[in-house]
């Protein structure tokens, strides 16, 4: 989908490009890609790089354009891993600025008329627009990290009484999300550092906004690393917990088998085809059953006394 806005704030949508407009492209079709090539004259290799899900964040300068790629977090439903990261490309030309992403996201939601409506001001500077994208990206990382932490807490409650690997697999997927986040945030921070040190744009950049973007990304990186370290330790600990829970279940089943073996043994002895002192007694059956129950009861008492049950 392609949407064209008069300014970066996305307040006024227009039908055709004009000077200093913002073009937001999300999940482009084949016809829309052809339009990007023909009408907006975007290099084919750069579009393919942005649409590559594994593309690394970077910044490139040319005489007529500037390209910035950052990685942003997205939430995935009906998938094994609930969160991962994808590239978001910002192509700055002389007459327009174009953002391109391979799927809808919360950084630049294609369905909302203005992602910056909460600020009630138009954004006319492309560099400040880029810094706001980095800032929104850091905030979104923090939001998803909190959700990952909440999901991990729920998994911990289930894993304490579990003897299966299902919860460990869920915990492993949370760890994968954190690895994706840490790798992407580190790469985004390198791009921010290049923006700060670039001689081409250093005089035009908003230092205060740049510092805010650095702080948000650094905070997100620290939180992701803390959560990752905690989960790495929990994986080993909970693997031992599951093994211990399984041992407890096996011990209980063994004790139950021992208790049930007592009446089985009595029935086997008195059921043998040999003479005994109770073969002619009318009370033989009830006496054997009662005696077996008494012995089983004492066995349970003994196990409880030793705290095996």
> What are the extents of the domains in the chain?
1-118, 247-305
Task: For 272-293, write each residue's pLDDT tens digit.
Answer: 666 767 666 777 777 777 877 8
**Backbone region of residue 69 per phi and psi (left: phi > 0; alpha: psi in -120 to 50; beta: other values):** beta
* Cα dihedral sign, 90-70-149-247: positive
Task: For 74-125, write each residue's pLDDT tens digit.
Answer: 888 776 788 889 999 888 888 888 888 888 888 877 666 556 555 445 566 7
CATH code of domain 1-118: 3.30.460.20
DSSP conformation class of 55: P
Per-residue pLDDT of the chain (309 residues; tens, 9 = 90+): 888 887 776 667 788 878 878 888 888 888 888 888 888 778 888 888 888 888 888 888 877 888 889 999 988 877 678 888 999 988 888 888 888 888 888 887 766 655 655 544 556 677 788 888 888 888 899 999 998 888 888 877 776 665 566 777 777 888 888 889 999 999 988 888 888 777 666 556 677 888 888 888 889 999 988 888 887 777 666 667 667 767 777 877 788 887 778 787 777 777 766 676 766 677 777 777 787 788 778 877 777 777 665
Task: For 186-200, write each residue's pLDDT tens digit.
Answer: 998 888 888 877 766
- In angstroms, rounded to a whole number, what is the distance separating the alpha carbons of residues 107 and 184? 15
**CA distances to 71, 88, 215, 219, 246 from 185, in Å:** 8, 13, 12, 10, 39
For the chain, give percent helix, strand, coil, nearest 5: 55, 15, 30
pTM for the structure as a whole:
0.74
- In angstroms, rounded to a whole number, what is the distance separating the alpha carbons of residues 15 and 151? 43
- In angstroms, rounded to a whole number, what is the distance separating the alpha carbons of residues 175 and 173? 5
The whole-angstrom distance between residue 261's C-alpha and the CA centroid of its chain comes to 50
Partnered with residue 85 across adjacent β-strands are 73
């Amino acid at each position: 989908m392609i949407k064209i806005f008069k300014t970066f704030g996305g307040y006024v949508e227009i039908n055709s490009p004009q000077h200093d407009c913002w073009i937001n492209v999300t999940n482009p079709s084949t016809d829309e890609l052809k339009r990007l090539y023909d009408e907006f004259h975007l290099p084919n290799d750069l579009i393919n790089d942005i649409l590559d899900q594994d593309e690394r964040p970077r910044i490139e300068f040319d005489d007529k354009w500037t390209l910035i790629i950052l990685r942003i977090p997205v939430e995935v439903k009906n998938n094994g891993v609930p969160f991962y990261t994808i590239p978001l490309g910002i192509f700055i030309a002389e007459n327009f600025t174009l953002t391109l992403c391979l799927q809808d996201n919360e950084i630049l939601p294609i369905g909302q008329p203005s992602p910056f409506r909460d600020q009630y001001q138009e954004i006319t500077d492309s560099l400040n627009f880029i810094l706001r994208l980095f800032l929104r990206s850091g905030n979104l990382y923090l939001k998803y990290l909190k959700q990952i932490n909440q999901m991990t807490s729920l998994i911990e409650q289930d894993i304490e009484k579990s003897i299966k690997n299902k919860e460990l697999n869920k915990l492993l997927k949370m760890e994968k999300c954190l690895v994706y986040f840490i790798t992407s945030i580190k790469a985004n921070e390198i791009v921010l550092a290049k923006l700060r040190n670039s001689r081409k744009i250093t005089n035009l950049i908003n230092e205060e906004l740049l510092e805010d973007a650095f702080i948000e990304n650094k905070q997100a990186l620290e939180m992701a690393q803390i959560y990752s370290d905690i989960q790495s330790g929990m994986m080993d600990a909970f693997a031992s917990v599951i093994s211990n829970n399984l041992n407890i279940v096996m011990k209980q089943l063994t004790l139950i088998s021992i208790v049930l073996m007592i009446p089985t043994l009595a029935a086997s002895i008195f059921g043998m085809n040999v003479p005994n002192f109770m073969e002619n007694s009318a009370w033989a059956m009830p006496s054997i059953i009662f005696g077996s129950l008494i012995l089983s009861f004492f066995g349970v008492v003994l196990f409880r006394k030793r705290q095996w049950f």
